[in-house]
């Protein structure tokens, strides 16, 4: 006897529908991710086009005194069809080549972009030929003031002076002039004093990707 014959009134057994597969969780957003939409497969470029892009990326990074985002590099190469993800892949390939051949420079991701930098291993030699270039080194007082701004931002001048115990106006003006500190608004207190914060140049100066890479206060050496 079949299953159909055992069902009353000739009702046939209907197989249960299989549960649909749940969608996979979206990928974690990486730095400089264009958006949260599903990513399309990376466009495959012919070898000669990839070689051109790789050399062009190297030339752009070599010539720039500032970090360049992968999106900006991709825009410069828009006629080749490469996208920002493809550019990041080329940057990593270049960095690997420099590492394997122990070149005197490398590529670092800092301040939201990529920049070609000399290796720390050769810092003393670079410093030897740049001696007397002047102006770039910060005094101890300036470093202390900058540290207060970096860790307490947004912060007022009065707050900086309360922490350091000395007048901070001239040092803050100097840091503003150097582009390491910026006006970040006004405090909602009597007199509405200016608030100070760090800049993108600050991240570049200290080789940081973001403020989250600042050392924890309890990790800093004791004075």
Mean pLDDT by 10 residues, the chain (223 residues): 46 43 34 47 75 94 89 93 93 93 88 83 71 62 91 92 86 86 88 90 87 76 54
The pTM of this model reads 0.50
Residue tagged 């970090």 (tokens):
67
Residues 51, 113: one domain? Answer: yes
Which pLDDT score is estimated for 21?
38
Residues 121, 96: one domain? Answer: yes
Residues 161, 209: one domain? Answer: yes
Domain boundaries, position 54: 47-125
Residues 110, 157: one domain? Answer: no
Which pLDDT score is estimated for 42?
54
End of a domain among 90, 125, 160? 125
Q: Is residue 150 part of a domain?
A: yes
- How many structural domains does the chain have? 2
Which pLDDT score is estimated for 40?
54
* Distance in angstroms (rounded) separating the CA atoms of residues 87 and 22: 32
Q: Is residue 34 part of a domain?
A: no
Which pLDDT score is estimated for 43?
62
- CATH code of the domain covering residue 107: 1.10.10.10
Which pLDDT score is estimated for 119?
82
Which pLDDT score is estimated for 153?
92
End of a domain among 98, 125, 152? 125
H or E element, residue 118: strand 113-118
- Report the SS3 class of residue 155: strand
Nearest to 198 by CA among 186, 182, 175, 214: 182
Residues 112, 163: one domain? Answer: no
Which pLDDT score is estimated for 212?
87
Q: Is residue 36 part of a domain?
A: no
End of a domain among 99, 125, 151? 125
């Amino acid at each position: 006897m079949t299953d159909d014959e055992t069902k009353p009134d000739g009702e046939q057994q209907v197989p249960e529908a299989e549960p649909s597969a749940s969608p996979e969780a979206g990928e974690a957003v990486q730095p400089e991710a264009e958006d949260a939409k599903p990513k399309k497969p990376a466009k495959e470029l012919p070898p000669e086009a990839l070689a051109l892009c790789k050399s062009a990326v190297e030339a752009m990074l070599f010539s720039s005194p500032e970090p360049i985002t992968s999106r900006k590099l991709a825009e410069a190469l828009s006629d080749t069809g490469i996208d920002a993800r493809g550019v990041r892949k080329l940057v990593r390939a270049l960095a690997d080549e420099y590492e394997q051949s122990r070149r005197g420079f490398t590529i670092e991701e800092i301040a939201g972009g990529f920049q070609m930098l000399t290796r720390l291993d050769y810092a003393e030699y670079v410093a030897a030929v740049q001696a007397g270039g002047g102006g770039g080194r910060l005094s101890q007082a300036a470093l202390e003031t900058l540290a207060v701004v970096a860790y307490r931002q947004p912060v007022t001048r009065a707050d900086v002076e309360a922490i350091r115990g000395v007048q901070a106006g001239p040092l803050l003006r100097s840091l503003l002039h150097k582009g390491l500190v910026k006006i970040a608004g006004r405090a909602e207190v009597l007199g509405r004093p200016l608030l100070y914060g760090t800049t993108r140049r600050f991240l570049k100066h200290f080789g940081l990707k973001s403020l989250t890479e600042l050392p924890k206060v309890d990790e800093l050496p004791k004075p």
